[in-house]
């Protein structure tokens, strides 16, 4: 097991950039969407409007910055009273703030009950019971709703909260965002790294098979591995579709979702989706296939397979969120399959994994782009898995204390409430060793990311620790 032990200013410098992101968002009046939110639950629209999306997302950012900040607040009334310019109020469990004429947001807090209960303004135990936050952004007559899960119980102020993904794991490499906004990578033929300069830190990472992509705070992206998807260290400018909101990579292609709601894919898939209504994008596929899917504002999942051509749109409807069907809120993809998390907590899958899990209690799903299984966190803190594995990677977990989930190719890792990491499945390279705070001076893990045959975790002292296959230095930052 290896720790991040870089010398000088780089040592222990992994940090969340919530304040930087928040300042940028308010100054520029443009939204860079928060992407990998803890136990991500939903993001859908009643009408198409980038402005109302921005307002809703701003509400989420403001609340998360407050509840993980200093000082702690005894109840939601106290949390609302901490806003001074403009002021905020808590009424019937909703904290609301008017930002300008006709522009406002309202944020509600819910517990883990089924169906979830609205937490009252005066509830002093809210930090222990909150499980997700719903933000309602209003701009004129248009409403946008964003709902995200949060880690509970909410830790004491100052603890990193995993709202953005600062760690990513590829086949035989690892990358992390440092405190200064730079991207540092290690392993086999390190993917292109990134130097942020003074004003544009990296805020989110995604990986493909042999490359890594970073989302930059100014809405640009940088991707690369020996020149793949552009020249090395190519810092791309904003597209005609506005700023990038998300990037997703797989074995031989990547897709970028823009502020306009359009999507552009490159590599083994090469097409441009101009529907203007995409709210999420995900890529997947193994050695012989590739697929990318989007979620539209209506909750429908559209996908394109190997036959995608330039300027074509995803042709296949994998899940129809119209009519009486609940909208899809998140998608995950693996090797020849995809799954959608639905608004009612069910999971609908297609491809080599097909059918619907009807438990109505899934709050987050995860897979790996060339894995053959998928798992979900249940509201109870248990784990439910589907798919194929000869090593036990699809075994369920019933400990009721899982707060985060990450899948490798044939193994599964979870972060527990006590800050430990447990993994199961294929252990031929030690990839299921996990992490135990009790044997590491009580230092807790804050997040975990699994890859092909190795995994890493960010610790609460801001170090990174890795285990598993180290044939190319991928666990040795």
Q: Tens digits of per-residue pLDDT, 405-433?
A: 999 999 999 999 899 999 999 999 999 99
Say if residue 270's pLDDT is above 70. yes
Element holding 255 (H helix, E strand): strand 253-258
Q: How far apart are CA 250 and CA 336, in angstroms?
A: 12
Average of per-residue pLDDT across 250-261: 81
Residue 141 buriedness (CB in 10 A; 0-12 / 13-18 / 19+): exposed
The pLDDT of 169-189, averaged and rounded, is 80
- At residue 54 the predicted structure's pLDDT band, cuts being 50, 70 and 90, is low
pLDDT tens for 139-162 read 777 777 777 766 555 544 332 333
**pLDDT at residue 427, as a whole number:** 97
Q: Please state the length of the chain.
A: 477
**Long-range contacts (CB closer than 8 Å, 24 or more residues apart) made by 424-428:** 424/392, 424/393, 424/395, 424/397, 425/389, 425/391, 425/392, 425/393, 425/395, 426/389, 426/391, 426/393, 426/453, 427/391, 428/453
Confidence (pLDDT) at 214: 82
Q: Using one digit for the tens of pLDDT, what is the confidence trace for 332-360?
A: 988 888 899 888 888 999 888 988 888 87
Q: How confident is the model at residue 233 (pLDDT cuts 50, 70, 90)?
A: very low
Structure confidence at residue 442 (pLDDT): 94
Token digits for 55?
Answer: 């307002």
- State how far Cα 449 lies from the chain centre: 11
pTM tops 0.75:
no
301-334 pLDDT per residue, tens: 998 875 544 445 556 788 888 888 888 888 998 8
pLDDT score of 273 more than 70:
yes
Higher-confidence residue of 367 and 323: namely: 367
Comparing 197 with 229, the larger pLDDT belongs to 197
DSSP state of 239: B
Q: Which residue has the higher pLDDT, 156 or 222?
A: 222
CA angle 182-40-204, nearest 5°? 10
Which residue would you say has higher pLDDT here, 235 or 260? Answer: 260
* Cα–Cα dist 364/454, whole Å: 22
**Average pLDDT value for residue range 451-466:** 89
Q: Binning pLDDT at 50, 70 and 90, where does residue 72 land?
A: low
Integer-rounded Cα radius of gyration of the chain? 21
Structure tokens at 26: 């308010």
Whether 242 shows a pLDDT value over 80: the answer reads no
**pLDDT of 40 higher than 70:** no
3-state secondary structure of 74: coil
pLDDT above 90 coverage of the chain, percent: 21
pLDDT band (50, 70, 90) for residue 404: confident
Average pLDDT, the chain: 75
pLDDT in the model for residue 56:
74
């Amino acid at each position: 097991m290896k720790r991040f032990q870089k010398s000088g200013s780089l040592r222990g410098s992994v940090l969340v950039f919530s304040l930087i992101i928040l300042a940028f968002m308010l100054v520029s009046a443009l939204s860079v969407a928060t992407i990998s939110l803890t136990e991500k639950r939903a993001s859908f629209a009643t009408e198409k409007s980038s402005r109302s999306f921005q307002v809703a997302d701003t509400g989420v950012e403001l609340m998360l910055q407050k509840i993980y900040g200093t000082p702690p607040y005894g109840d939601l009334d106290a949390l609302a009273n901490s806003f001074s310019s403009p002021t905020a109020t808590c009424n019937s469990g909703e904290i609301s703030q008017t930002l300008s004429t006709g522009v406002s947001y309202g944020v509600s807090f819910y517990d883990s009950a089924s169906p979830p209960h609205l937490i009252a303004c005066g509830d002093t135990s809210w930090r222990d019971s909150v499980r997700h936050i719903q933000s309602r952004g209003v701009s004129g007559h248009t409403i946008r709703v964003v709902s995200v899960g949060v880690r509970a119980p909410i830790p004491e102020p100052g603890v990193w909260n995993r709202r953005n993904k600062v760690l990513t794991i590829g086949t035989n490499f690892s990358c992390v965002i440092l405190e200064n906004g730079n991207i540092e990578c290690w392993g086999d033929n390190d993917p292109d790294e990134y130097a942020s300069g003074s004003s544009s830190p990296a805020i989110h990472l995604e990986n493909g098979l042999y490359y890594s992509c970073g989302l930059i705070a100014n809405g640009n992206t940088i991707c690369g591995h020996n020149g793949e998807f552009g020249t090395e260290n190519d810092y791309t400018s904003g597209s005609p579709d506005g700023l990038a909101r998300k990037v997703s990579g797989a074995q031989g292609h990547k897709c970028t979702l823009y502020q306009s709601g359009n999507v552009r894919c490159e590599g083994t898939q090469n097409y441009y989706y101009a529907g203007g209504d995409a709210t999420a994008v995900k890529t997947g596929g193994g050695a012989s296939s590739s697929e990318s899917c989007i979620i539209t504002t209506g909750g429908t999942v559209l996908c394109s397979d190997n036959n995608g051509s330039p300027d074509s749109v995803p042709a296949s409807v994998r899940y129809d969120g119209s009519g009486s069907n609940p909208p899809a809120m998140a998608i995950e993809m693996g090797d020849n399959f995809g799954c959608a998390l639905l608004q009612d907590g069910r999971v609908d899958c297609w491809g080599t994994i097909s059918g619907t899990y009807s438990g109505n209690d899934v709050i987050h799903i995860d897979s790996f782009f060339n894995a053959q299984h998928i798992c979900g966190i249940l509201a109870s803190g248990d784990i439910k898995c589907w798919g194929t594995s000869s090593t036990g990677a699809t075994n369920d977990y019933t400990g009721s204390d899982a707060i985060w989930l990450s899948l490798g190719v044939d193994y599964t890792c979870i972060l527990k409430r006590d800050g430990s990491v447990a993994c199961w499945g294929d252990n031929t390279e030690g990839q299921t060793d996990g992490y135990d705070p009790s044997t590491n001076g009580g230092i807790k893990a804050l997040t975990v990311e699994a890859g092909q045959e190795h995994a890493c975790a960010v610790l609460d002292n801001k170090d990174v620790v890795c285990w598993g296959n180290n044939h190319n230095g991928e666990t040795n930052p």
